[in-house]
Amino acid sequence: MKIMFNKPLLPPSGPSDPTARVRFTDLCAGYPGRPVLHELTAEITALTTTALVGPNGSGKSTLLGVLAGVIDPTSGDLRHGGGRPPAFVPQRGAVGDALPLTVRQTVEMGRWAERGPWRRLTRRDHAKVDAALGRLDIGDLAGRQLGELSGGQRQRTLIAQGLAQESDLLLLDEPTTGLDPDARSRITTILAELVADGVTVVHATHDLEAARSADTCLLLRDGHLTGWGRPVDVLTTSALARAAWQPT
């Protein structure tokens, strides 16, 4: 198993592809006694939106965890070509409502990767937090507790935390799940704007509309990659039936 960060992206044979932000080849991963991902091979093109789609248990969250560096592959080759580690935004349910955190404190946690949790934030750190709050249009919520927020506000807070990390690769796990149609549309628009601003976005989703708005889709079933390409080519009726995926 080989993981490489910030190295030129070289395929097993052939020239380097400068448009690839991430490449993985024969990638396997899982948990003790439970393999999940089986020999996945694909690329994440820089400055695009990639949707990971498939039924529950297909391996979407595990793949995100591997790309984020929080789950180690068991075999295969994974290469990152960006200048900074990826920023990972978990599902909203992974952040407890009971935590006494304000919106601003939550976004400030995005600076911990660079500063550490116990060092005081610098003027530059505060400026980055302010910029992330403004970018997600939640500056007026900075003093509110997480538990007081609507689902859409909470999701924008978590995305702002990811942006505060200043990564050029943003990984999101089900960013629109449980949101109303207006909130889903707003999140989808924000992600498209981030790509235009120089961020590569990868998100797991059950939302067919969000998946179809991506540049590329990876369709998973039982930890196997069953489709990879443009949504119009991957998300066909027959392919979705073979993957046993019933999108929302």
pLDDT (tens digit per residue) in 93-105: 555 555 688 999 9
In total, how many domains does the chain have? 1
Whole-angstrom distance, CA of residue 22 vs CA of residue 171: 12
Whether the pLDDT of residue 116 is over 70: the answer is no
Whether the pLDDT of residue 87 is over 90: the answer is yes
In-domain check, residue 123 = yes
In-domain check, residue 41 = no
In-domain check, residue 124 = yes
In-domain check, residue 217 = no
* Beta strands 34-45 and 49-53, pairing class: unpaired
For all residues of the chain together, what is the average pLDDT? 87
Phi–psi pair at 216, nearest 5 degrees = -140, 150
Look up residue 137 and give its two tokens: 């249009």
Q: For the whole model, what pTM was predicted?
A: 0.88
In-domain check, residue 242 = no
Other residues' Cβ atoms within 10 Å of the Cβ of residue 85: 16
Domain span holding position 138 = 94-166
In-domain check, residue 5 = no
In-domain check, residue 157 = yes
In-domain check, residue 202 = no
